[in-house]
Amino acid sequence: MRVAFVSQPFDNIIPPVEVGSIGIWTYQVMLALADREIDFIVYSKRFADQPLVEHYAGVEYRRVEVPSLLDETAARPFKLAEKLLRYPFPKKPFFSRVANNFAYIWKVASDLRSQNVDIVHVHNFTQFVPVIRRLNPLVKIVLHMQCEWLSQLDRKMIEPRIQQADCVIGCSNHVIDLVSQRFPEYADRCQVVFNGVDPKYFSKNAPVSASQQDGPKRLLFVGRVSPEKGIHVLIDAFNLVVEEYPNVELDIVGPPASAPYEYIVMISDDPLVRDLSRFYHGYLMKENYLKDLQARIPDKNKGKINFVGGVDHSKVVNYFQQADVLINPSLSEAFGMSLVEAMGNRKPVIATRVGGMKEIVLEGKTGLFAEPNDEKSLAQAILKLLRDDDLCKAMGEAGYQRVIKHFSWDRIAEALWESYLTI
C-alpha cells in the first residue's frame, strides 16, 4: 500500500515532527505502522530553504513551493477577495473555498499523478478533495476532520466534497455523529480514529510534582491561548479558588495564537461560542485576547498565574509532570488532546461538558466535569481535587490505564489501518 498525507497549507513539517498537533499525529501513526507494508509520502508547503524532497525514517517528505504573498502589491487582490467573501457569507468563508490555497493543492494534486499512490489522506481542508479527485480520478481519498467544519459550513458546498471522498475520519464520535446526522446518506463511510499519546514517553524520568515538594499546588492549562479555549473562564474560576485555597498557582502553556474569527466563532451555531465575538476587535477582527486575560487578574493574584507561552512538544511533558491537575475549560473542542496527555502522565483532569471531551473523561473516575462558561462550576471542581490528594492519585492511575487501552499510538494506528482496509 502507498499512502500520501496532505498537510494543512500552514503546517511547517520538519521530521522528527514535534510542532503542530496534526503534523505530530501524522508522524506518530507512520512510526506505529512502520512494520506494515506501507510506503508513506507527506506533502507540505516549502518554507525558507527546506529541501523539496527529504527522506527520514523511511518516509518521503515532498514539499511544494507556493508563490509568496509577502509582497504587498501581489497580495492586494487576495486580501481584497478575503474581505469581500469573509462577512457576507458566514457559512461559506473564504478559507473554505477552492480559491483559498489553490496553488498549494494544485501542485500537490499534480505531483500525485506521478506517485502511483493508493490512498490520499487529507487533513481538514475539504476543498482539496475535488482538486485531488479531478487530477487523480482512481485514487482513494480519506478526508480527516479534526474540527466540526463538515457540520458547520454551507451544506451545498460541503456535500459534493464528502461525496468525492471514499472515507471520512473524525477525531471523535462527537465529530462523526454531527456529520452522520447532517449527511445520513454518507454515514456508512464515516469512521472514528482518535488522537493519541505515548504513555511510555511520559513516564520517563518523571519529576516529583511541586505540591509533593511542599510547594503550592499547580494547576495547568495546555493549548492555544484563544477565546474558544475558555481561558478567561479559567482565570475567573482561579480567582474564586484562591479565596478559599491560597496555596495554588496556575500555569498557562501555549502560544498566544487565537483562531481566526471565521474558523470557529463566525460559523458556530452555539450561542456560547458565538458570544466569543466580543474578544475580536476591529474591522479585520484582529484580536488581543492575551491582554483581555491579563486584565482579569487582580494584583494580588498576578504572581500566581504564569503565562508560559509556546513550548516545544518535547518540553511540554515537564509541565504535565509537575502539575497536580490539568484543566481544559474549552467552549468548543472536537477532541481534547491535553486531557489525554495529562492522563498519560497519571494526572487527574477537569473538562467542560463539550464536544469530544465527553468521550475522554470518565466522570468521577479519571476526572471531573464542569459546565461550559461557568466559572463557579469550574471553581467547585478545582477545589474538590485540591482538597483530596487520594482522589487525585486514584484518578491519575485510572486515567493512565484508560490511555493505554484507548489512546496509545499503537491503538490509533491500528484503527487507522482498519479504516484504510475498508475503502
Q: What burial class does residue 373 get, using C-beta atoms within 10 Å of its C-beta: 0-12 exposed, 13-18 middle, 19+ buried?
A: buried
DSSP letter (8 states) at residue 303: G
How many Cβ atoms from other residues are within 10 Å of residue 169's Cβ? 24
Gap between the Cα atoms of 318 and 209, Å rounded? 10
Question: Which pLDDT belongs to residue 201?
Answer: 76
Closest to 307 in 3D by CA, of 341, 350, 348, 256: 256
Fold of 2-66+101-196+408-422: Rossmann fold (3.40.50)
DSSP letter (8 states) at residue 241: H
Q: What burial class does residue 372 get, using C-beta atoms within 10 Å of its C-beta: 0-12 exposed, 13-18 middle, 19+ buried?
A: buried
Gap between the Cα atoms of 153 and 244, Å rounded? 44
Element (H, E) at 279: none
Please write the tens of the pLDDT for every residue from 363-414. 999 999 999 999 999 999 999 999 999 999 999 999 999 999 999 999 999 9
pLDDT-derived band at 67 (thresholds 50, 70, 90) equals: confident
Q: Tell me where in the chain the CATH 3.40.50.2000 domain(s) lie.
A: 2-66+101-196+408-422, 199-406
Question: Which pLDDT belongs to residue 312?
Answer: 82
| pTM, 2 dp | 0.92
Class of domain 199-406: alpha beta
Gap between the Cα atoms of 227 and 239, Å rounded? 18
Is the pLDDT reported for residue 166 higher than 80? yes
How distant is the alpha carbon of residue 31 from its chain centre? 20
| Residues 6+ positions from 332 with CB-CB distance below 8 Å | 148, 228, 264, 268, 270, 273, 354, 355
pLDDT-derived band at 272 (thresholds 50, 70, 90) equals: very high
How many Cβ atoms from other residues are within 10 Å of residue 294's Cβ? 13
Point out the least confidently predicted range of 78-87, 326-335, 394-403. 78-87
Whether the Cβ atoms of residue 337 and residue 195 lie closer than 8 Å to each other: yes
Question: Which pLDDT belongs to residue 283?
Answer: 42
Q: What burial class does residue 49 get, using C-beta atoms within 10 Å of its C-beta: 0-12 exposed, 13-18 middle, 19+ buried?
A: exposed
